[in-house]
Structure 1
Amino acid sequence: MSLSSHTDVENSPKVDLVIPVYNEEEAIAAFHRRLRAVIDPLPYSFTILYVNDGSKDATAERLTEIAADDRRVTVIELSRNFGHQAALTAGLDHSRGDFVISLDGDGEHPPEMIPQMMQLALNGYEVVLTQRVEGQQAGWFKRWTSDAFYRWLNRLSNTRILPGSGDFRLLSRKAADALCQMREYQRFLRGMVAWMGFQTVILPYSPAQRIAGHSKYSLRKMLKLAADALFSFSLAPLFIGISLGGVFLLLALIEVIYVLSFWVTNRQDTLAPGWSSLMFVLLVVGGVLMITLGIIGVYVGFIFQEVKRRPIYFVRRILSSSEESASPHEQA
């Protein structure tokens, strides 16, 4: 490399790629080759941060081989599986570049979009969001649940979250630092990014096929993420419980007026015993009370998690060609 080209690389924008992986031993090597084919010709200085989220297969060995072959790679190995949002947070905390791009390491987030994302960022946008355009390759159940989730979340929340958005995005350094300041334990990053309000542009894309393996987002994990989103960005469930309580109080008042009308008109002997209707009302009201107490309990549980101030993740080791100090956010 000539002196002038070396100077150009040193002065070019520094871009960190944050890639969380979990049990991707079959796909990660092919993904890295695909990633290199995209970024090698680009005039930017790249650092690739692979976050191993407690993988139980040979992912750690594959990442070690990749790091030995590519000096741009840093492997952040978490002590256990903390979840996708925590792994992304770990990568963001350790990023130092002028821009940070997060994407999954299974191939569904096409790295071929990185040049377009960078062009938009250099045009002045602080956040480049990608919006997934689902084709028929996605099952009807996934499309229906995704549409319903975003539709209801945007109705119940004051923060509008882009339908079809995921964690494939670009953040400027200022936006990434702002996101790192938000240390809540129950994390829904796409909502947190929307809440920050930085200048944003939307970039549609069609998800690619997975390179190998299967999705690690089970139905249980998707439901947990949906619950974190709902309870973190909306108080609507509490107001729903209050509204239901008000409705049943109104029905109780109507029932009292109805019964009193029989006494006023001296027709109390025509009143039916009413045991079944009484039990029905008691069961319905009891059910509403239990649901409302459950909703309150979830919020109290979230508060309990927050006040303990446990770290979002723990790092077992960092594998890099250059020694770096631990991030100040790591233990926050």
Structure 2
Amino acid sequence: MAAPPLERVLDGVRLHVVTGKGGVGKTSVASALGLALARQGRRVLLVEVEGRQGISQTFGVPPLGTAEVRLVQDPSGGELWGLSVEAKAALLEYLQTFYKLGRAGGTLERMGVVDFATTIAPGVRDVLLTGKVYEAVGRTTGPRRGQGRYAWDAVVLDAPPTGRITRFLGVNEQVADLARVGPIHGQAESITRMLRSRRSAVHIVTLLEEMPVQESADALAELAGAGFGLGALVVNQVREPLLPDELLARLEGDPDSVEEQVRADLAAVGVRSGARTVGGLLAEGRAHAERVALERALATQVAALGQPVVTLPALLAGTDDGGVSVLADELLGQGVH
């Protein structure tokens, strides 16, 4: 199945949900995506909901709280802001917004009701987190919601991992079924409509490893089946082969055929070509050739999933020393807008 163009997939998207198997670098990718959008003159909010403070570590700033903090002011005029959504604060805000509890919300917190709702009651935490993201996406500068221009040109959500993402995004549909009337029902339906509209897209981050690729394929099928908009497949930490294709093929098929070349190359640089040295180099070369062949096969599998593919290079220093900026430039160069 041919993938649609990236430009068409991203057209009109205001909420970018970034997910991926644990360890694939989804926070780095979400941060780079937010920075890439800001570099186009946009005002962007980067949100995390797992309490890991990954954004603050990526940008080298103090831990984020419940207030939005500017992370980057770009020369283009764009801005990147960060926010760590915390379920307890989101619940108190919700109670004030819909029920005008005010100081009574503090009383509920002291009684332990807030802790119960945010840590024990099934699904409530995810409802609150998605609700806060919904508020940010739809927030406007006018006196009422929907009046004036949008406060944020785009919102990037560093979301839960692929194993939980469909349940996380779909929790409000269950709430709407349970609460048939009232503000809870209305908000739950509104959040679900936004997440399933063309304004939202879920981007899946993977590595060229068997487990992440399989989990990405499973998540893609689940999300599509649940009606959520799909964005790009981001292949992170891609490494260029260290050897030319002809040599890789020989190492994988018949490493002994390379032995004389290895001995000659060692002699040329003044290194003794003992059996242990040559044997070790041939074993390393064959392992590298097998690894490259596996990665190329997995890249073919990713391309066959039917979504636009974006590739990001492996960075020796990780996201330190401007690594996020490098990734942002890669995204811009591949058509992210």
- TM-score where L is the length of structure 2: 0.25
Larger relative contact order (CA 8 Å, sep ≥ 6): 2
Is the radius of gyration larger for structure 1 or structure 2?
1
